[in-house]
Amino acid sequence: MYTIEKGVLDSSSAYFHTPSTMAKSMFFYLICSGHYYCDSNYYIKRNDHNSYLLMYIKEGEGTICYNGKTFTAKSNDVVLLNCHRPHSYRTKGWETLWLHFDGNVSDQYFQFLYNKYGCVIPLGNSNTIPKYLNRILDIFKSDKMLSEPLVSCYIQRMLTDLILVSSNYDENNHDPSNPILSAINFIHENYRSKINLNNLSDISCMSPYYFSRIFKKETGYSPYEYILMIRLNRAKTLLKTTNLRVKDIAFEVGFNSESNFVTCFKDHVDITPSQFRAIPF
């Protein structure tokens, strides 16, 4: 369906959906989607559009303004915007696949990705996002009933893909010289021993404050949370695969006392180690 909008060329299309009450309460839900060809007259400036925008740049280039910052988006980039806040974007000419969505944990996904990468994320070799955007557009073009649970899955798959395939993520997590990766490897090899922030920051050649900030940005965990996660995961494995006493497991995975281990385990798993061991999987 062609839309009349300044700077949007005749070959463009846009489709609209009114989400159900169930979708608004349970899912990521679609508001509208389209395939745009735009010239230099295309300029959007809004204070609040009551949605999130996911836009794949198929060809061309544009400028995105959000939160006092300016980002450049080019071919094979994805733009992710919180349109509940003031924003603008313009182009000298581009072709885009896009959708406006909301619901579920949209804001949590947006905040995680924005804090990590900003509003523009390079896709690299992944074709997941254009594939699912085209699937949604094909549903509209065929005039078939739109399955809201299925579209919710598509949206979540695309948001997750942004976390997994960003070029920054790939570089940071697979480059052997990356200092954060060195710290992660040290944790995995030494979680049974006492590890403190100074150990990790020294390995990474950073100040403790800067190391903590970068570690959290790249992993989603603070250094302490990451060490604790590794220890608890190992403890769960030992609880289910050995007959070791809880006390012995506590020391085996790096806790300094059984009581500390039990308290920590219950705080994070909601049950005691003994209760966890008794649950059949």
pLDDT of residue 170: 46
| Percentage of residues of the chain with pLDDT beyond 90 | 75
pLDDT of residue 176: 54
Q: Which residue has the higher pLDDT, 76 or 115?
A: 76
pLDDT of residue 35: 97
| pLDDT single digits (tens) 184-226 | 999 999 999 999 898 898 988 899 899 898 888 778 789 999 9
Q: Are 148 and 27 in contact (CB under 8 A)?
A: yes
| pLDDT single digits (tens) 223-268 | 999 999 999 999 999 999 999 999 999 999 999 999 999 999 999 9
Q: What is the mean pLDDT of the chain?
A: 91
Question: Which fold would CATH assign to domain 13-171?
Answer: Jelly Rolls (2.60.120)
pLDDT of residue 147: 95
Residue 3 has pLDDT above 80, yes or no: no
Domain coordinates of the chain in residue numbers? 13-171, 176-278
Pairing state between β 52-66 and 87-103:
antiparallel
| pLDDT single digits (tens) 155-181 | 999 999 998 875 444 444 455 557 888
SS3 helix, strand, coil % of the chain, rounded to 5?
Answer: 50, 25, 30
Question: Which fold would CATH assign to domain 176-278?
Answer: Arc Repressor Mutant, subunit A (1.10.10)
pLDDT of residue 256: 94
Q: Count of CB atoms within 10 A of residue 64's CB?
A: 24
The secondary structure of residue 194, as a DSSP letter, is -
pLDDT of residue 117: 86
Mean pLDDT over 115-121 rounds to: 90
Q: Match 């900003």 to its residue by tokens.
A: 118
| Percentage of residues of the chain with pLDDT beyond 70 | 94
pLDDT of residue 169: 47
Q: Are 162 and 80 in contact (CB under 8 A)?
A: yes
Residue 47 tokens read as 């204070």
Calculate the CA dihedral of residues 177, 216, 210, 123 and round it to 10 degrees: 50
Q: Are 95 and 133 in contact (CB under 8 A)?
A: no
Q: How far apart are the first and last CA of the chain?
A: 51
What is the pTM assigned to this prediction?
Answer: 0.71
Residue 223 tokens read as 């250094």
| pLDDT single digits (tens) 19-44 | 999 999 999 999 999 999 999 999 99
Give the integer Cα–Cα distance in Å for 124 and 106: 23
